[in-house]
A and B are shown apart, each in its own frame.
Chain A
Amino acid sequence: MTVPIRYREDETFVLNLGPQHPATHGVLRVKLTMDGEYIVKAEPVLGYIHRMHEKMAESGSFGQFLPNTPRMDYLGALSYNHGYVMAVEQAAGIEVPERAEYIRVITVELNRLSSHLLWFGAFVLDLGGFTPLLYAFDDREKVLDLLEMVTGSRLTYCYFRFGGLYNDIEDDFVTGCREFIARLRSRMPTHYRDLVTGNIILQKRLKDIGIIDADMCARYGATGPVLRGAGVEYDVRKNHPYSAYPEFDFDIPYFPQCDSWARYLVRMEEMEQSMRIIEQALDKLPDGPVNAAKVPKIIKPDDGTYYTAVEAARGTFGIRMVCDGGKGPYRLKLRSPTFSNLSLFGEVAEGMLLADALAVMGSLDLVIPEIDR
């Protein structure tokens, strides 16, 4: 709830939140002008871990940039990996076999689950509840094991290749996925819904706090769970279908309350939908190759500008690529979702209690390396 601010200019003070503050989940600094416990002005200061991925993309070939992609959003790495290979495939006209598309969807959705599980744990931890983090990490560990089995790494997965995958999945992975989903399903009602979602303290911290409505989302270009928590049914997987997503039956959860609670509910429901997608993909998994037959060693797309977007765990990840006939992109713009999602924080935090603002920041699900790139 926001209160009208009545403050005297000479009675405010500046509070530095971060860059080393656990609630910012990374190296983000927020310059807060405070009137007692209330925020008069909030100004995010970015760039502490800026690495200029876009210049790295320009200076190498298409393949050389591939391992950079998971290092932006290290919690939802495969969506980024997917977005980049899709961009190059679209520009160079490479067809991807059906089996590869299915495995891409399975692994991306597993990654989305692990990302949301980590968000869940860290978010409740921000609000003062420690135990749920342990349950969430217990389940997340299973996902990391599964993804390690196929990709070879535990966090910065670089599993997709232009026209296919690094390697095929094995039967162990398929049975492991089914076991994991059965386990998470059985734990959802008790360890997540009864313990946390039904908790009156959590609800009181989140309900009617941090109102971000559809109009504000449109003005700032906020996407993902933030937008769906504002009652807008927008998801790139449905609105601009890509990969094998049109083959599956799933819903886009959205809640009209516009508060932190709605954003919490969206992510909890998204986990259910991801499990649905993985189950369907495992049931219908087609046989066949996982790599396109003809992928040139040196990829040279036609001259032009291309745009590709995927739904990452935090919103729309877009790539604008300009090609001029060289071995690598002439220009590669990475549109990261939390960059836009965070830009509305200054407006939403105005007049809010500091403790509530931190809850709102948690509900935005920030990953700083992705903002700073």
Chain B
Amino acid sequence: MNLKLKALTKSIWVFHAATSPCNNCDIEVLDLITPRYDVERFGIVLVGSVRHADALLVTGVPNYKTKERLKKLYSQAPKPCVVVAIGGCACGRIMFKESYNSPCSVDEVVPVDVYIPGCPPKPEAMIAGIAKLIKKVRGEKQCL
């Protein structure tokens, strides 16, 4: 693994894309940056633009409008960019599968690296997911 990629895994900048969620996952994501969980100790920071981001964090089921925006966001992100799907809606489509405004799931639009299910997932689960993602990027062996 090259030095640049190793350095990146120590300072993951995250852009939060909310593709029509119910806001419950977003509130749990906010918990992550409070002092109780404080993911900034791992170098994880939320940034305001996807052009500065190393990871794209997606919540909610894409609808016809947000699907296009998600595509645009991913194309604007500097590569390598990892995609994290947070919550049951982003992982699959659960109860919104038959909805009139739900054309596809997140992984049909962008390649998802980590799925963190839950409604909403606990902040601990998100940290565990990110820890596994970092190991995957570094090519280390996962201890499950």
Q: Do A and B bind each other?
A: no
A→B interface (CB under 8 Å):
none
